[in-house]
Structure 1
Amino acid sequence: MVQAHASAQLIGDRSHQCDATATHTHDGTRAYVLCDGIGSSDEVQAWTRTAARRIARAAARSGDAEAGLRAEYDRYAAEPERKSPFADLPNACAAVAVAVPGKPLTVAWCGDVRAYVLTPGGTLRCLTADHNMRRVFGGSRNRVTSYLGAVESDDQCKGRYNHPAIESATAPADTSRLLLASDGAYEPLEDSCRDLTRYLGWRSPRRAADTFVTAAIDHASSHADNATVLVADLPLRTPGSTNQGAASE
């Protein structure tokens, strides 16, 4: 049996690996999370790993990507020390997808982590729109406009950047594979005009994930970022049945 989901990451030229992935299953509902920590330090690395696990647990239990991400966004925003303009606390971009057997996949995000879905016919669709200055004002893609650990409400973020703090989407009914990717994974390939689907064609999610991050580092510029992806085969089976995933290679 082939594993139905897998993640892979490479550190690139950074001092720390500050991306993190997590999954959590609750009563047949499964959540997939990728967080991209902002900065490089032991503190950011540890915080991001914990945040990914918390989002996955909250999203699986709620059965909805936006509800799970929003619960953790609000919880971090409520921390008193984050209200200070001088606060220097860990933050991260995040994307979460929730698969409930028999229902459409839901996706939510803050920041520039992306969620893609692949159809059985090989069509790749990006469900997310980056929260960064390139989207808002045509500025730098490296300056994010929303992230986990921020304190802005949806209305405040809309007033400043014309998008809410958290956005959500629903995947097409014929989705067969999910891809969550940090900017260090998708940007080098996008910048090199590579077709992302060529790295997802492996039947094994493990092979697809490993191939994707390796290609990202190989095509990076002079400074390679952390590259992390999570690949999952869909749909989930109904509770009580076995998810066989994809056929073996």
Structure 2
Amino acid sequence: MRTYATAQLIGDRTHQCDATAVHTAPSGARAYVLLDGIGSTDEIRDWTRNAARRLARTAARHGDAEAGLRALYARYAAEPDRQGPWARMPEACAVVAVTAPGRPLTIAWCGDTRAYVLVRGTVQRLTDDHNLRRVFPARDGRPGGNRNIITSCLGSTYTEDQVKNEYGHPAIETVTRGAEDCRLLLASDGAYEPLEDSCRDLADYLIGDPAEAARDFVRSAIDHAGTRADNATVLIADLRPAN
């Protein structure tokens, strides 16, 4: 039985600019990737799909999420067409998770795509968004910064120091989790935001095999999104420790 699945719905957008990819290297390392393209055009859609595949291959080859994401981040940042204040090239929020034999789960991200794990019926969020809501958190009755303004993403030319100096967080963040049986969830903001905004328990949408859960998750996200539903995409994988 297949241990992972993806599902997506376009919502009210003109283009589906989310993308997922999975790649397994000869070493046995496997990378799970979800990208959320910023904007809605043919160019962004096609670039995001290609970038997701490139990130999955790179991260699996490295056997590590951080190494893979940093390598591809640097590659895009160095492209000549991205240089200069008026450059307008496709960008995407990105999250990648890598499993490898005998090694812990590694996760790396830039933007507000998220990773969660479901362990013994409880969902645990592993990532922290790169957006203005994080930079200016809600307090004293004030709503905080705009969560739709992204502060780091794949395709940006900002260096690590530039992002830290301007926003107070790294351009790429990482987390390592010990090997254990769990269900991995990667989700775009169009998938997790409507459910969390409605105070739903994400664990309720992670029931059944990965394909069933993925379809239920995105359908429920669109149902709870109101009249301005974003692209909703998830990747769900059942992980088992590998020797």
TM-score normalized by the length of structure 2: 0.94
1:82/1:89 contact within 8 Å kept: yes
CA deviations on 1:105-137 (whole Å, 9 max, x unpaired) are: 000000000000111x11211110000000001
Aligned to 1:74, the other structure's residue is in SS state helix
| 1:226 partnered with 2:231 | yes
Q: Tell me how many residue pairs correspond in the alignment.
A: 235
- The amino acid of 1:192's aligned partner reads S
| Correspondence for 1:3 | 2
5+ long unaligned stretches in structure 2? 137-143
Is residue 195 of structure 2 the alignment partner of residue 189 of structure 1? yes
Deviation at 1:102, TM superposition (A): 2.5
Contact 1:101 1:235 in 2 (8 A): no
Matches within 5 A, 1:85-124: 85-119=85-119, 121-124=120-123
Deviations 1:143-176 (A, max 9, x none): 0000001011111100000001000001243341
1:49-64 aligned within 5 A: 49-64=49-64
1:75 shift after superposition: 0.2
Residue in 1 that maps onto 2:220: 215
1:18-167 equivalent positions in 2, closer than 5 A: 18-26=17-25, 27-119=27-119, 121-137=120-136, 138-167=144-173
SS of the residue 1:109 aligns to? strand
Cα separation, 1, equivalents of 2:39 and 2:181: 33
Structure 1 CA distance, aligned partners of 2:158 and 2:206? Answer: 36
Q: Does the Cα contact within 8 Å between 1:7 and 1:230 map onto a contact in 2?
A: yes
Identity %: 66
1:183-228 CA-to-partner distances (Å, cap 9, x unmatched) read 00000000000000011121x1001100100000000021000000
The Cα shift of 1:22 comes to 0.2
Structure 2 distance, partners of 1:165, 1:122, is 32
1:104 match: secondary structure: strand
**Can you give the 5+ residue segments of structure 1 that lack an aligned partner in the other structure?**
239-249
Contact 2:179–2:241 (8 Å) recurs in 1: no
CA distance in 2, matches of 1:70, 1:180: 19
Q: Could you tell me which amino acid in structure 1 is paired with residue 215 of structure 2?
A: D
Contact residue 110 and residue 165 of structure 1 kept, 8 A: yes
* TM-score of the aligned structures, taking structure 1 as reference length: 0.92
1:236 CA displacement: 5.3
